[in-house]
Amino acid sequence: MGGVHDIGGSPGGPIDRGQHEVEDWERLADAINGALGAKGLQSTDQHRRAIESLAEYRDLSYYERWVAATEKLLVEKGVLSSDEIDERAAEIQRRWNGP
Amino acid sequence: MSNHHPHEETGGTTSPYAARIRAIEALLLEKGVLTEPEVQDSISYMEARSPANGAKLVARAWVDEDFKELLLSDGKAAASELGMDPEHPAEFVVVENTPEVHNLIVCTLCSCYPRAILGRPPDWYKSFAYRSRAVREPRAVMREFGFEPPEGVEVLVHDSTADVRYLVLPMRPPATEDLSEEELAGLVTRDSLVGVNVPRAPARTG
Amino acid sequence: MTFEPGDRVRVLPAEKPGHVRTPDYVKRKAGWVEAVVGAFPNPEELAYGLSGLPERPLYRVGFLQIDLWDDYTGPAEDHLYADIYEHWLEPERGTT
């Protein structure tokens, strides 16, 4: 059987035609992906492969998959470590949650 | 300092991945892997692209037979002629609706879309429901968008499995002879460029 | 290029690990070469940072929907195109 992403012809429910407002973090996910690609630091094919390998594929939204895949590639290439991303993300989240 | 944070900083509930991508951005900037201008350029790139570009290509093709021929044989050259910047190396192919054939575009494997022309795809295009059903029951999908091809029209589905991005050139609606190119472009919806339905009819006068 | 427009082809059933761009629903199915798209580096290898060279021929392959799905309810003329790499195709001989 094909991978988790290989869903052409699978059963599917009604199509939700609603459109959510693109959030700033989603714009940023797009931009980081584009900027890394423009510099040759990752390719579309690598990013797709990383998305397809996510265990949480079905549980994540489109841009959540993008972020998870970008992280996977950056760690794979030794550019960033999961630990430092964890740490910084926690700091940022604390700042947002307020005092 | 990038100023694109306002939504999350007001503390609205959002994804845990929001903090993650902010963290990734901050670290990449600190380490000099990316620069602020590079990130900003990338944001601007996407913001500059919208379905209006697709509408322009279609309207020009409706009024100019030579342009239409170019659009169908070399989509990138046609887009460049109208000042758009279709990206390399993906191919850009425009498929024409005719009285015999109605086209529908999908990417079952991921959601490939001609983003370099049209910007971000709509949420429904990226949904599991669309990706799984469009290839198997295109007519039922189009019915959900309020469209039924006339009797005798074939439906042709294009699955963008490799690096070709597709755009549908819809048929020009009837009773539009007196419309300007700009007014014609106003009839071309994003959904009609994917093929789930067809362009708007012109507004009736009187 | 091994195939020309009009050639009957069948998609291989291969179950390859890693990144492939041949969807499951066309595997084992017979169709025709509608067009030669061109030659491109192999995405299966590009996905892992390899060069993907030599370039592989890519074809637009047409299938009748009634051949793809047992339960297709639309007209027999309805069809589908998918862009498939040469190494996923074999010639389909004879008539079905």
For chain A, how many structural domains are there in total? 1
Q: Are residues B81 and B163 in the same domain?
A: yes
CA distances from C54 to A46, B88, B162, B164, C90 (A): 18, 19, 17, 19, 19
Is residue B62, in this structure, part of any structural domain at all? yes
Q: Is the peptide bond before B89 cis (omega within 30 degrees of 0)?
A: yes
- B23 shares contact with chain A (CB less than 8 Å): yes
CATH of the domain at A52: 1.10.472.20
| Alpha-carbon span B120 to B115, nearest angstrom | 6
Predicted local confidence at residue B147, as pLDDT: 97
**Nearest residue in B to A26, CA atom:** B18
Q: Where are the alpha helices (DSSP H) in B31-161?
A: 36-47, 51-63, 65-73, 75-81, 115-118, 123-126, 128-133, 138-144
Is residue B1, in this structure, part of any structural domain at all? no
Q: CB distance A85–B20 less than 8 Å?
A: yes
Q: Are residues B119 and B183 in the same domain?
A: yes
- A2 shares contact with chain C (CB less than 8 Å): yes
Predicted local confidence at residue B84, as pLDDT: 93
Neighbours of chain A (3+ CB pairs under 8 A): B, C
Residues 36-95 of C with CB under 8 A from B: 37-38, 40, 43, 58, 65, 68-69, 72-75, 77-85
Q: Are residues B33 and B91 in the same domain?
A: no
Is residue A47, in this structure, part of any structural domain at all? yes
Q: CB distance C47–A48 less than 8 Å?
A: yes
Which domains, ranges and CATH numbers included, belong to chain C? 8-91 (2.30.30.50)
Predicted local confidence at residue B9, as pLDDT: 55
Chain A residues whose CB is inside 8 A of the B23 CB are 85, 88-89, 91-92
Counting every residue, how long is chain C? 96
- B135 shares contact with chain A (CB less than 8 Å): yes
Q: Are residues B55 and B104 in the same domain?
A: yes
Predicted local confidence at residue B89, as pLDDT: 62
**B-interface mutation test, from A22, A27, A28, most B Cβ less than 10 A away:** A28
Going by their DSSP bridges, the two strands B154-159 and C79-85 should be labelled as parallel
What would you measure as the largest C-alpha separation in chain C, in angstroms? 43
CATH of the domain at B163: 3.90.330.10
- B21 shares contact with chain A (CB less than 8 Å): yes
Q: Are residues B90 and B134 in the same domain?
A: yes
Q: Are residues B19 and B81 in the same domain?
A: no
Q: Are residues B164 and B136 in the same domain?
A: yes
Q: Are residues B21 and B100 in the same domain?
A: no
Chain A residues whose CB is inside 8 A of the C15 CB are 1
Q: Which residues of B are catalytic?
A: 107, 110-112
For chain B, how many structural domains are there in total? 2
Tell me the two tokens of residue B58: 């279609």
pLDDT tens digits, residue range A51-95?
999 999 999 999 999 999 999 999 999 999 999 999 999 999 999
Is residue A37, in this structure, part of any structural domain at all? yes
| Alpha-carbon span B110 to C21, nearest angstrom | 10
Domain carrying residue A87 = 24-97
Least Cα distance to A20 among A79, A66, A61, A48 occurs for A61
What would you measure as the largest C-alpha separation in chain B, in angstroms? 64
Q: What is the pLDDT along chain B (206 residues), one digit of tens a residue?
A: 344 444 455 445 589 999 999 999 999 999 999 999 999 999 999 999 999 999 999 999 999 999 999 999 999 999 999 999 887 668 999 999 999 999 999 999 999 999 999 999 999 999 999 999 999 999 999 999 999 999 999 999 999 999 899 999 999 999 999 999 999 999 999 999 999 999 999 986 54
Identity of the residue in B41, B46, B108 whose CB atom sits nearest the CB atom of A30: B46
Predicted local confidence at residue B146, as pLDDT: 96
Domain carrying residue B42 = 14-47
CA distances from A52 to A63, A72, B109, B177, C17 (A): 13, 11, 9, 48, 11
**CB-CB contact of B115 with B194 (8 Å):** no
| Alpha-carbon span A63 to A86, nearest angstrom | 18
Backbone phi and psi for residue A81, each to the nearest 5 degrees, phi listed first: -110, 155
- A52 shares contact with chain C (CB less than 8 Å): yes
Is residue A18, in this structure, part of any structural domain at all? no
B73: exposed, middle or buried (Cβ count in 10 Å: 0-12, 13-18, 19+)? exposed
Is residue A8, in this structure, part of any structural domain at all? no
**Nearest residue in B to C56, CA atom:** B162
- A57 shares contact with chain C (CB less than 8 Å): no
Q: Are residues B174 and B83 in the same domain?
A: yes
How high does pLDDT run on average in chain C?
94
Q: CB distance C82–B137 less than 8 Å?
A: no
Q: Are residues B22 and B65 in the same domain?
A: no
What is this structure's pTM? 0.94
Is residue A86, in this structure, part of any structural domain at all? yes
Is residue B163, in this structure, part of any structural domain at all? yes
Is residue A16, in this structure, part of any structural domain at all? no
Q: Are residues B33 and B129 in the same domain?
A: no
Helices B36-47/A24-38 angle, 10° precision: 110
> In angstroms, what separates the C-alpha of A89 from chain B's closest C-alpha?
5
Is residue B204, in this structure, part of any structural domain at all? no
Predicted local confidence at residue C15, as pLDDT: 87
Q: Bridge partners of B101?
A: B154
> In angstroms, what separates the C-alpha of C95 from chain B's closest C-alpha?
23
Backbone phi and psi for residue B205, each to the nearest 5 degrees, phi listed first: -100, 145
Identity of the residue in A1, A8, A49 whose CB atom sits nearest the CB atom of C19: A49
Q: Are residues B72 and B158 in the same domain?
A: yes
Q: CB distance A9–C68 less than 8 Å?
A: yes
